[in-house]
Amino acid sequence: MTSDSLMTVEDVANWLSVEERTVTGLARKQELAGFKVGKEWRFSRDDIVDYLEQQRNRPRQNEDPIA
C-alpha cells in the first residue's frame, strides 16, 4: 500500500458525500476498515471500494431475499 492510496476521514466523507462523523462512526463500529495514526483515522482506497461493493450486494432491510 502506498501513501497515495491512503485517505483521511475528510477524503472519504467527500468521496461518499457523507458527513465526517458518519465515516468515523462506521470506523469505530468496525463496519469500515481503517486504522489510526495518532488520533487521526486513515483508510485504504481499496478497503473503501470493498465496503461499497458489500453495501451494494447487501439485501435491503424491507426486501425479501430471492429464494
User: Do residues 24 and 41 touch, judged by C-beta distance below 8 A?
Assistant: yes
Cell 495518532 belongs to 38
Q: What is the CA radius of gyration of the chain?
A: 14
Please give the domain boundaries of the chain with CATH numbers for all domains.
Answer: 3-57 (1.10.1660)
**Hey, what amino acid is at 13?**
A
Residue 59 pLDDT grade (very low, low, confident, very high; cuts 50, 70, 90): confident
Range scoring the smallest mean pLDDT among 30-39, 46-55, 56-65 = 56-65
**Pick the residue with more confidence: 12 or 60?**
12
- Render pLDDT for 11-38 as a digit per residue (tens, 0 to 9): 999 999 999 999 999 999 999 999 999 9
